[in-house]
Structure 1
Amino acid sequence: MKDSLEYKGYHAKIEFDSESYVLRGKIEGINDYVDFESPDAKKIEEEFRNAVDDYLEFCKEVGKEPDKEYKGTFNVRIKPTLHRKLAMIALESGESLNQTVEKAIQTYVNSYTQNEVIIKEAVSKLLDEYNRNYAGNLQRGISMVASFMPNMVKGKKNNINMAYKQ
């Protein structure tokens, strides 16, 4: 499932509004506020693209430079003890505080990305192992149950479709 969109270097996260039953999104990472919505999931990406295009056209009309996403600067609020430790590390290594913080963030991001790859590989291996050893047995079990209770497994009932996919 994908809940974010990208177009012309702008990004938006899509959320479902359960009160009005529409999908809503907002362009992230810019100072200006640009949002969009659609009751139709198939059209939400089109609405996002229209919002970006409208934003760029509006900026052009009023002579404003459009905000760029993620300029590389942001404020971080941390505990004073952590701030002090970072400052001491920067001082000892002959770097600025910004350089030290950037290195720390880069290390965290690299670690996160590596962990994500490791987890995806592990899940893939587990699924392969499961499919090799157990999926056939599960399919046979479902077929056996279906033969005893055909009305409960086959067909459509109350707009619910059921199917087993291997």
Structure 2
Amino acid sequence: MVNHEHYTYRVTWSEDDQEYVGLCTEFPSLSYLDESRMNALEGICSLVKSVAADMKENGETVPEPISEKAYSGKFMVRIPPEQHRLLAMRAAESGVSLNRYVSSKLV
């Protein structure tokens, strides 16, 4: 069984609802509203725990927590050749590799 506490949670203010909304990255369709930020977090955690248990009971695949996934550090991005050339020039002007230049722009 997946530990529901290992999922990626966040709480943000909802101007539309005038309440805090608890969210879980691995379950994007779920949310939990509350006037209290802490209650919104507790609410989404409880909701995810319940949904994950229900999914398991019904033989559905329960999402793996992002925190437990292994990442290689590599991914492919297709861009137009002109953009590739421009990025290569900027990397060279900065004295770094294209990979280092692009990765510094991603965060």
| Structure-1-length-normalised TM-score | 0.39
Equivalent residue letter for 1:52: V
Give the match for residue 19 of structure 1: 16
- SS in structure 2 of the partner of residue 60 of structure 1: helix
Give the match for residue 94 of structure 2: none
Give the match for residue 63 of structure 1: 59
Gaps of 5+ in 2: 87-98
The answer as to whether partners of 1:34 and 1:55 remain within 8 angstroms in 2 is no
Is the helix fraction higher in 1 or 2? 1
Give the match for residue 80 of structure 1: 80
Gaps of 5+ in 1: 1-6, 86-102, 113-166
Task: Return the alpha-carbon distance in structure 1 between the equivalents of residues 84 and 6 of structure 2.
Answer: 33
Task: Return the alpha-carbon distance in structure 1 between the equivalents of residues 16 and 28 of structure 2.
Answer: 26
Bigger radius of gyration, 1 or 2? 1
Q: 1:45 to 1:63 in 2, by over 3 A?
A: same
The answer as to whether partners of 1:11 and 1:27 remain within 8 angstroms in 2 is yes
Q: 1:25 to 1:9 in 2, by over 3 A?
A: same
The answer as to whether partners of 1:16 and 1:23 remain within 8 angstroms in 2 is yes
User: In structure 1, which of residues 5, 9, 23 is the aligned counterpart of residue 6 of structure 2?
Assistant: 9
Task: Return the alpha-carbon distance in structure 2 between the equivalents of residues 33 and 23 of structure 1.
Answer: 16
- SS in structure 2 of the partner of residue 79 of structure 1: coil
The correspondence of residues 1-166 of structure 1 with structure 2, limited to 5 A, is: 8-28=5-25, 30=26, 33-70=29-66, 71=69, 72=71, 78-81=78-81, 104=100, 108=104
Q: 1:53 to 1:15 in 2, by over 3 A?
A: same
| Structure-2-length-normalised TM-score | 0.55
Q: How many residues align?
A: 87
Task: Return the alpha-carbon distance in structure 1 between the equivalents of residues 10 and 76 of structure 2.
Answer: 22
Identity of aligned residues (%): 13
Q: 1:20 to 1:42 in 2, by over 3 A?
A: same
> Per-residue CA shift, 1:114-159, capped at 9, x if unaligned?
xxxxxxxxxxxxxxxxxxxxxxxxxxxxxxxxxxxxxxxxxxxxxx
Task: Return the alpha-carbon distance in structure 2 between the equivalents of residues 62 and 104 of structure 1.
Answer: 45
Instruction: Give the superposed CA RMSD.
Output: 3.8
